[in-house]
Structures are given as structure tokens and as C-alpha cells.
Structure 1
Amino acid sequence: MKQQYKTDGPESPDGTLWWHLKLTPGTKWQPYGGEKRLAAYLYFEAEVGDRFTMRELREGLGTDGVADDAEQLNRRLRALRPDDWIIRSYKDDHSLPPNTYRLEAVGTRVWLGERNPRDKVSKLTEKVVIERDGRRCVVCGVGAGEEYPGEPGSFARMTIGHRVPGARRGGASPDDLQTECAHHNEAARDVLPDPEDFDEVLPAVRALKRAELRDVRNWMAAGRRSRSKLDLAYDRVLKLRPSEKERMLEAIDDIIGDE
């Protein structure tokens, strides 16, 4: 069990401000997470309703006048969502300037080891979502077992992610989940904008031609973009054992030679 620190103040056991820690107290090598530092800084240095920028956050987390240079701090902010922290950005509220955030609710004291439970999505739900999405990543379209373009020897593995990165997955319905490859799971894509809503997408749909609209409608009704017999055959041969793929190549060569 992780150590629980009994303190309500801004200083850690050794007197260092929680948001200036680099290593977890009591250890010589374990890094002190960015989520914990962010939560502590906002808890003690900000009020609900306050606005702040990423630059201001980095300056606050920095020491000796040097701003913190940790990567993907915006992802760390999102990762606080399951612990009841509500932090809006200009992507959530267009009244906010770009790169500006607003603290709307303070959550659990994650810097003290307090975290909400993370329930896992059931295997049945995972299967339903993956089959619904055609065993393909909804972010980039790569299929299970396919080789990533430009990355020889790197094959896609499907997983489940939340439509909104950082949101709690426990108890979520299939409507809140989607199939993602390992390259684009919710942790990796957390730096990207949240999914668009109906009103944002409708203008682009209205601009399509009637024939294109019919295709989109048919794909939506089927739950996936239609794939030809060629696509389906390729999906199947990709799942063969290496030795069977060699046999399939020889068989195809024989068939082509007979034409």
C-alpha cells in the first residue's frame, strides 16, 4: 500500500513544497508524479474559478526562477479528471482564450496518495466495442495485426479507450468507449483535442454531395466504413501464421500464373 502522508499543509515531510518535489518522499529513485505536483499546486495556490495558463503553471512548478520543463503537462491535467478535479480549457469553453484553463472544482488530494478507484471495463464490454468498431482503430483506421505504415515490423494491437481522454472508464457503456490501437490509446492521444460534438461536425456533413452523404449514411448504419472483398480477404490473410503466409504467397503466385 502506498504511504499516506498525514499533513494538510503545502510542505512535504522534508519541508519541500509538494509541487517542487522531484522524488517521492522516502525513496531515492522513484519520481514524484506530475499529476500529484499539479494537484498540490492548484489546491494551495489557486481558488475555484481562477484562470491560468500553461506558462503560469510551469513557472509555479519550477524552482529557483526556472520554469518546469516536464512534457505533456496538459495531459497531466486531464489525468486528474477521474479524481473529481474539473479543469476547463478553451476547448471546453470557447469564452476562454486559447491555452487558458479555469479551475472549476477541487478533487481528491492525490499528492497524499488519495485516488478514486479505477474499475476495469469488463471483457464482454471490450469484445462488444472492438467488434462494433470492426477491429480497427477509430483514430487512425489501422486494423488489428496490420503493420503500421512506415514502421516495418510494428504491428497494431487493439485496446479500449474512452472517447474523452482521462475520463473514468469504470462502468462506462459501449457508447462512451471506442477501439484504439496502442499508438493512439487515450493516454497517447491525450494531447489532442477532445472529440467533436454534433454541432461541430454538422457543417462539414452538410457540405458533402448527395452521393457522398449516402455513403456516409450507409457506413454509419453499418457501424463502420464498408470494406470490399479485397479488404476483407487481406484482413484474414494478415492473421495467418508466418508459415501459412508463405504458403498463401505461393498459392497466389500459382493462381496469377494460371491466368
Structure 2
Amino acid sequence: MDVPSWKDEKYGTMKRAGLWLVSVVGVGGVFTKGELREAFPETSQIDRRMRDLRDHGWQIDTSREDASLGASEQRFVAQGEPVWEPGKGRAKLGAAITVTRRREVLARDGYMCRSCGIAPGQPFADSYESAQLDIARREVRLADGGVTVELVTECNRCRVGGRGLTADVAGVLAGIDRIGAFERKILTGWVASDRREFSAVERLWADYRTLPEESRLKIREILGGEACGLQ
């Protein structure tokens, strides 16, 4: 049975990656990361899209599974579900996360919650409860129209509050287009360092919110008096 062209952009990146393996590499064939990225130059995270095929029964070995492979080589061992067919290739939320994969995700995310930035064992600002980190699955709508599920590190609070959350790449890109040059420069700095640097005022606001009501009232009285002096 003929398969669609891997260059057909109506398919999501993961499906096109599967078609590329079948049409260009072939079962048993070896390819490099460079060849993969050359085939999909428009997709910055093509390695991750390729790994998503494993959730659908595809076997793609690296040097960890096959000692004969070089560090940048992978072998297409077996085709799984034909993800390009209608009704196939849907995100599978129930697949088990291996211990090795869990360690990889934690290390990739800097051992911090990707939603709020808290570290393991660090107390939450408004309580004596300490953060615990775990791996969560997050559905992501890709800019090319496809949908995938990515693993992210989340603390116990964000994991509960973020259930059902869908990340929207196209929505973020549209939001970037709407902001001004100054805001874009600030955002670029946060993205480059992969963290948001809070100003002194923002840190004081966070500290203020942790105070009991009586203490917050005293702060409001002091700041209210200063406001009167400015009039």
C-alpha cells in the first residue's frame, strides 16, 4: 500500500517524521541527527517529534540500545502504528514513564517546576508545605496544526491545578506578534536565560502576599500614608 509523501505539510510533524523513516530511511536503516534536521529544517524540535513515535509502537534505537551506533546515529528498527492514517497517531496519555526517562526530563528542566519555577524541597510562599516534583503529561497544539503530548516537570501544586491544560504554540506566537518592541526585548531575555527575573517590587509583592491579614493591614496603612503625602 502506498504511503503519503513525507513532504506533505498537511500532516503534523510527527506523522511526517514517520513517513520520512518509511520512505527515505527504511526499516533497518541508520540515520544521523544531522540528516533528520536537514530533512526538517523548519522544525526546531524534530528530535522530540521523532521520539513521540515510540508511544505508538515504533522502535528507533540509539547508541544506548545498540552499541554499534555512533553518538549521533539512530536505527529505524520497526514500524509501529501508521500514524498518518485517519484516527491513528492520537496522543496516548496512559503510557508508563520509565525511570530513565523521568531522570532525563528532570535534568532537562533543571530540577524545577516548569510552571512556577519552584525547586524540590523549597517551601511554598504562603505555607510551610514543601514542593515535590513529578513528571506530568501536557498536551501541546503545534504551530503546524498537529497535536502532541510532552513531558514536563511540575510541582505537586501545579500538577493538580494544571490538569486539563493544553499548551498552544500558535497562540504564544500570535501573542508575541501583538506585543511592542520593549516588551519583546524583555521576553527575549527571559527566553534566552530560560527563567524570568523578578524585579524588587515584584518580590516584595510576593512577600507581602504571604503576610497574615493584620500584618498586611499595617503595610497598607504605611503605604496609604505615603500616598497621602504625595498628593
TM-score category of the 2 structures, normalised to the smaller one? 0.3 to 0.5
What TM-score results when the alignment is normalised by the length of structure 2?
Answer: 0.44
Under a length normalisation based on structure 1, what TM-score does the superposition of the two structures give? Answer: 0.40
Task: Give the strand-richer structure, 1 or 2.
Answer: 2
